[in-house]
Amino acid sequence: MTPVKALEQHGQAVWLDFLARGFIANGDLKKLIDVDGVKGVTSNPSIFEKAIGSSDEYDGAIGSALKGGDRPVIDLYEALAVEDIQHAADVLRPVYDQYDGNDGYVSLEVSPYLALDTKATIAEAERLWKQVDRSNLMVKVPATPEGIPAIKHLISKGISVNVTLLFAQQAYIDVAEAYLSGIEAYVAGGGNPSHIGSVASFFVSRIDSAVDKQLDDKIAKANDPTEKERLAALKGKVAIANAKLAYQHYKQLYAGPRWDKLKAAGAKPQRLLWASTGTKNKAYRDVLYVEELIGPNTVNTVPPATLDAFRDHGVPRANSLEENLDDAKQVLADLEAAGISLDEITKQLVKEGVQLFADAADKLLGAVAFKRETVLSQRIDAQTLALGTTLAKSVEASTEEWRAAGKIRRLWEGDAAVWSNTDEAKWVGWLNSAAAEKAKLADYQDFAQWVKAEGFTDAVVLGMGGSSLGPEVLAETFGEVSGFPKLHVLDSTDPAQVRATRDAVNLTSTLFIVSSKSGGTTEPNVMKAYFFAQVSAMLGADKAAAHFVAVTDPGSSLEKLAKQQGFARIFHGDPTIGGRYSVLSPFGLVPAAAAGIDVAKFLDSALAMVRSCGADVPPQQNPGVQLGLALGLAGLAGRDKVTILSSKAVADFGAWAEQLIAESTGKDGKGLIPIDGETLGEPAAYGNDRFFIDLRTEAETDAAHDAKLQALEQAGHPVVRIVLKSADQIGQEFFRFELATAVAGSVLGINPFNQPDVEAAKIKTRELIEAFEKAGSLPAETPAISTAEADLYTDDKNAATLRKAGADGDLASWLKAHFARAGAGDYVALLAYIARNPDHIDTLQHIRLAVRDRQHVATCAEFGPRFLHSTGQAYKGGPDSGVFLQITADDAHDLAVPEQKASFGVIKAAQARGDFNVLTERRRRALRVHLKGDLAAGLKMLDAAIAEAIN
Ligand SMILES: O=P(O)(O)OC[C@H]1O[C@](O)(CO)[C@@H](O)[C@@H]1O
Ligand SMILES: O=C[C@H](O)[C@H](O)COP(=O)(O)O
């Protein structure tokens, strides 16, 4: 008989503190049962980390699991763990039967992330109990203050529990009380408790490690040799003394009338299990925590090395647990007298224990996440970060801070403290929207079939910001799908642009998708009024409604109107999702379905990134967190111009990302300024305020572009490269950027879900329109100068500053003084309230690139009112580094809005003025040039004047 097996005769069961797939499969566990009389198995997150995370033993299983479809990282891990636990339970089942359910158990720990949450612990334990579905399972629950009520509850439901992370005698007494009252409740409910098994895992070696450390400190400080000796005599003694006294409590707790009653009802005592019995200090005997803790009705769970050592040279002593109890008490008294509080140490050990297991779980999930990404590499867009040493170091430090504080899980829970601790919790619906919409796939498919059957040739989205930019990316990226209408987007009040859209479609066969979350946004309402009237004029009012669908949040004024007018369909958005985070909700998916995009495929692809960025993927492996930390930290370090370079196949992505980044982060004088559409230049063109994100598809190789990017990286600019497997995977980028923006918002310390300064401009615009409705004209304004070609406007403060800097009677002098105000770290933004068409885009591009190359500042080229619902927030509320040139013009042909005085042209003018007023109110550097007469000629003149001004 081996010394291990001999422990049986002393009433002690030996369990194995270890588990691994191959170890069970190749019969090693069975051998230990047969040879050494091993009667149980315990696992914990560190054990699974070693088994799954630090070996390749499970790679095949992970690969096969993913063949059936992608799965969240936590599910992948749990499936493996549950299988291992089931296999071990099956090998131990004969022991369980032989000992009438007193032994033969295998333990699986609830997630350490839940250790401080009673309700979540209960739910998880119940779920695991069901999933493993073995009578000889014990669910491990920690003895934290929150864990103890969960233990009582679980026992009362007939679930076998292994209580872990027990260090203090008082905690043990509390746990025994939870067990006894749990059993009482179970019996009171008519249950027979004989099938309930439980152990209280009292940790040993960790106590000595902690106590010895404090003793060593005191020994080093003590001068008196006897004092040193007295302290040294306590080393390696406290843990055993503590365990011995706990055992005395056990004997009392499971004797007497209360226990006799339960015993008579069939209950088994909750045995003390000595855990953490591998010797950590090499100076001690390697079987110390086995030899000294032998006693009847106890369990010792040992790691394989300790088991081998005991088999080799362990010397069992009957009831060693009850030897020298007075000495044990004296050891604890001496410790107290030495000024070391065991109470404090054990409290600390519980906290550390939770953290250590959470650390192990992070490592484990990180490893599984990595394996998942490897298996799915063909389906997940790649991201590489080249950040330079300093930024990389701060990202690394923040990554660790995020990990240790569990911030990615808190973010997914919508914990407002991750951000500014205001109303963020109300705005995190986007995290789950792709999954939620997938459940509604049939609706989208049905809608797509209807659109097809109706034979629409065109579909036009009427919306702003989040309601238009996502659909625009989809239209541009996916192009036309045969059998479905061509998707257009209109997000303007510019009369020429509205007219251009009207002329681009066949009105009698066009589907209009009126999109507005709030339903109260001016632009979609007037655009809808216009097109509804147009279609009504051609088909009659009763038939027109059949060409309109609404996408809006429940209860909005748009919904009411759509109902009243009998729109063909009304789709509801989720009010917990803000506009710019809404593309993976009906605001993106309804236009997608209408355009014949395969919504199922699109969502599946997006969901792969949702999983990659999941709450269960630790920050280091989480691409959204990595991008977000890099963005946020770069921003704090002054690299706040997020320059987005998107290849041809995904060219429009930046227009969407721009809104997300600017409107989310640009507020309270902080934030990131997205720079979209600036052609890639030589390093000399850029200041050191840049952060580059390059997106392209795998098929689009461009050596010249890559070389330029490489040069930027070498010049010290952070460069993030994202390579999409194909443009179809654009859905992944929506989610990656959403998560990254939320993370960056946390780093910047702002609320990434509000847009306070946009609201301010809207109010000013509304006042101006009201004034127009009353007076028939907008309030008069006086130009700073007026020439035949243009008028210049600004507020008194800007005018005074510019005059001081040399602005006088001609346009060029004003422009010169104005652009000269843009220095290092600033950006120049052209805000043009004109039609967004290829010619105008070209002109603005020409101007911005000239400014960039001449002044080495970042530039933005934006069209109003579109940008008001996008980057406009950051321009007004973000860092005061913008130099703004607003461009307005006479409208050659205005367009009336049905049933109101203010025409499209008037609304646009009011919007420009409202925006300008807020800019100047915020003391921003802003100048407005109003072009007179022919617009093309005016723009040409402006281009030339700016060229002159900056040269
Ligand atoms: O969908 P809605 O409510 O019309 O809003 C459109 C856009 O306006 C904004 O609220 C800003 O003005 C954006 O955040 C939003 O995407
Ligand atoms: O139940 C077992 C415990 O989790 C294990 O014994 C802890 O041991 P350690 O202190 O060596 O990590």
Provide the 8-state DSSP code for 50: I
Complex ipTM value: 0.94
Alpha carbon of 635 to those of 22, 100, 638, 739, 925: distances in Å? Answer: 48, 64, 5, 16, 21
Question: Is 432-607 the same fold as 379-405+616-748?
Answer: yes
Q: Which two tokens stand for residue 407?
A: 């911030």
Q: Cα-flanking dihedrals φ and ψ of residue 79, to 5°?
A: -60, -40
> Tell me, what amino acid is at 922?
R
Nearest Cα neighbor of 53 from 305, 358, 362 is 362
> What residues does each domain of the chain span?
3-203+247-319, 379-405+616-748, 432-607, 756-950
* Signed CA dihedral, 56, 62, 63, 64: sign only: positive
Answer yes or no: is the C-beta of 44 below 6 A from any ligand 2 atom: yes
pLDDT digits (tens, 9 = 90+) for 669-723: 999 999 999 999 999 999 999 999 999 999 999 999 999 999 999 999 999 999 9
Pocket test of ligand 2: the residue of 17, 105, 346 to mutate, having most ligand atoms within 8 Å of its CB, is 17
What is the C-alpha separation between 778 and 916, in angstroms, rounded? 15
Pocket test of ligand 1: the residue of 468, 517, 581, 862 to mutate, having most ligand atoms within 8 Å of its CB, is 517
Answer yes or no: is the C-beta of 292 below 6 A from any ligand 1 atom: no
Pocket test of ligand 1: the residue of 472, 862, 869, 875 to mutate, having most ligand atoms within 8 Å of its CB, is 869
Report the SS3 class of residue 164: strand
> Which residues, 6+ apart, have CB-to-CB distance to 14 below 8 Å?
4, 7, 8, 36, 37, 38, 39, 299, 300, 301, 302, 307
> Which residues, 6+ apart, have CB-to-CB distance to 873 below 8 Å?
662, 663, 666, 667, 755, 756, 757, 758
Tokens 């009578």 belong to residue: 135
Q: Which two tokens stand for residue 25?
A: 């499969």
> Which residues, 6+ apart, have CB-to-CB distance to 880 below 8 Å?
669, 922, 923, 924
Q: Which two tokens stand for residue 813?
A: 């002098």
Strand intervals (E) in 809-873: 827-832, 858-863
Tokens 């097996």 belong to residue: 5
Whether the Cβ atoms of residue 154 and residue 139 lie closer than 8 Å to each other: yes
Provide the 8-state DSSP code for 897: P
Name the strand (E) or helix (H) holding 893: none
On the question of a cis peptide bond just before residue 865, with omega within 30 degrees of 0, the verdict is yes
Tokens 């991201």 belong to residue: 383
- DSSP letters along 551-577, please? EE-TT-HHHHHHHHHT-SEEEEPPTTS
Answer yes or no: is the C-beta of 518 below 6 A from any ligand 1 atom: yes
Considering only CA atoms, which residue is closest to atom 5 of ligand 2?
276
Answer yes or no: is the C-beta of 521 below 6 A from any ligand 1 atom: yes
**pTM score above 0.90:** yes
* Signed CA dihedral, 615, 617, 621, 623: sign only: negative
Residues of the chain with pLDDT under 50: none
Q: Which ligand is nearest to the CA of 18?
A: 2
Q: Which ligand is nearest to the CA of 289?
A: 2
CA torsion 342-348-353-354 (nearest 10°) is 140
What is the C-alpha separation between 387 and 795, in angstroms, rounded? 41
What is the C-alpha separation between 753 and 767, in angstroms, rounded? 26
What is the C-alpha separation between 635 and 627, in angstroms, rounded? 12
Q: Which ligand is nearest to the CA of 300?
A: 2
Predicted local confidence at residue 848, as pLDDT: 98
Q: Which CATH number fits domain 379-405+616-748: 3.40.50.20, 3.40.50.10490, 3.30.450.40, 3.20.20.100?
A: 3.40.50.10490
Answer yes or no: is the C-beta of 201 below 6 A from any ligand 2 atom: yes
Predicted local confidence at residue 87, as pLDDT: 98
Answer yes or no: is the C-beta of 164 below 6 A from any ligand 2 atom: yes
Ligand 1: which atom is nearest the Cα of residue 467? 1
What is the C-alpha separation between 891 and 517, in angstroms, rounded? 30
CATH hierarchy code of domain 756-950:
3.40.50.10490
Catalytic pick among 39, 140, 152, 517: 140
What is the C-alpha separation between 413 and 426, in angstroms, rounded? 11
Report the SS3 class of residue 846: helix
Answer yes or no: is the C-beta of 300 below 6 A from any ligand 2 atom: no
Report CA(369)–ligand 2 centroid distance (Å). Answer: 25
Answer yes or no: is the C-beta of 306 below 6 A from any ligand 2 atom: no
Q: Which CATH number fits domain 432-607: 3.30.70.100, 3.40.50.10490, 3.40.50.300, 3.40.1390.10?
A: 3.40.50.10490
Answer yes or no: is the C-beta of 17 below 6 A from any ligand 2 atom: yes
Whether the Cβ atoms of residue 938 and residue 790 lie closer than 8 Å to each other: yes
Report CA(105)–ligand 2 centroid distance (Å). Answer: 16
> What strand order describes the sheet that includes 486-490?
486-490, 458-462, 510-515, 548-552, 569-572
Report CA(19)–ligand 2 centroid distance (Å). Answer: 12
Report CA(467)–ligand 1 centroid distance (Å). Answer: 7
Predicted local confidence at residue 764, as pLDDT: 85
Helix ranges (H only) for 222-341 are: 225-232, 238-253, 257-264, 288-291, 304-313, 325-337
Catalytic status, residue 261? no
Q: What's 3-203+247-319's CATH class?
A: alpha beta
State the Cα angle at 674 between 672 and 675, rounded to 5°. Answer: 140
Q: Which ligand is nearest to the CA of 866?
A: 1
Find the length of the chain.
951
Report CA(754)–ligand 1 centroid distance (Å). Answer: 11
* Distance from the Cα of residue 222 to its chain's centroid: 51
Answer yes or no: is the C-beta of 109 below 6 A from any ligand 2 atom: no
Alpha carbon of 825 to those of 162, 299, 637, 749, 880: distances in Å? Answer: 59, 67, 11, 21, 10
Nearest Cα neighbor of 642 from 625, 620, 659, 626 is 659
* Distance from the Cα of residue 919 to its chain's centroid: 33
Predicted local confidence at residue 763, as pLDDT: 86
Report the SS3 class of residue 384: strand
Q: Which ligand is nearest to the CA of 514?
A: 1
Considering only CA atoms, which residue is closest to atom 9 of ligand 1?
869
Answer yes or no: is the C-beta of 874 below 6 A from any ligand 1 atom: no
Report CA(45)–ligand 2 centroid distance (Å). Answer: 10
Answer yes or no: is the C-beta of 42 below 6 A from any ligand 2 atom: yes
Q: Which two tokens stand for residue 617?
A: 């993927």
pLDDT digits (tens, 9 = 90+) for 400-453: 999 999 999 999 999 999 999 999 999 999 999 999 999 999 999 999 999 999
Predicted local confidence at residue 544, as pLDDT: 97
Predicted local confidence at residue 283, as pLDDT: 95
